[in-house]
Amino acid sequence: MTLKDDATDPAITQKDFVTHVLEQDQLSQAKKRPVPRKQLRGIEILVLWSLRIYLLFMIAVVVYQVVLSMR
């Protein structure tokens, strides 16, 4: 297939052109397919729980800071 920008029949040729040039996963339609959830291992679960605890602490700090700055 020749890659032509100025297709005489845009409805057909543009589709051929696009599917030829782009990788399948680059098509916007392909991006609608869900990416599977990661199966977490022990260490990863530990890291995510540490992040949750960190967040709770930091959110409290941010709220405190906002209240303090508004006084």
Partner 1 sequence: MNNLVPDTIRQEPSPPSGPEITHEDIDRAHDRQRVLRARAGRGLFSKSRLLWLLIGPGILVMLGENDGPSMVSYAATGARFGVGFFAPFFVLTFVMAIVVQEMTVRLGAATHRGHAELIFARFGPFWGWFSMLDLLLGNFLTLIAEFIAVRAGLGFFGVPPWLAVLIAMLVLVLALITHRYWTWERITLAAALLNLVFIPVAFLAHPDWHAFGRALGTWHPLPKGGLTNETVIVILSDIGATVTPWMLFFQQSATVDKGLTRRDIGYGRLDTVLGAALATVAALATMLCTTPLFSHQMSAENFQGAEFAQALQPIIGRLGAALFALGMVEAGIVASITISISSAYAFGEVAKRPHSLNLPISQGKSFYTVLLLCAAAAGGLVLIPGLPLVPVILIVNVIAVLAMPPALVFLYMLVNDREIMGDLVSPWWANLLAALVVILLVAAGVLFGVSVLAPNALAHLGGG
> What residue ranges bind partner 1 (CB under 8 A)?
3, 5, 14-15, 17-19, 21-38, 44, 47-48, 51, 54-55, 58-59, 61-62, 64-66, 69-70
Chain-centre distance for alpha carbon 31 = 9
Nearer Cβ to partner 1, position 9 or 33? 33
Helix, strand and coil content of the chain, in percent to the nearest 5, comes to: 65, 0, 35
Using alpha carbons only, give the angle 28, 32, 36 rounded to the nearest 5 degrees.
135
CB of 18 to partner 1, least distance (A): 4
CB of 60 to partner 1, least distance (A): 11
Nearer Cβ to partner 1, position 35 or 42? 35
CB of 13 to partner 1, least distance (A): 11
Cα separation, 65 vs 51, whole angstroms? 20
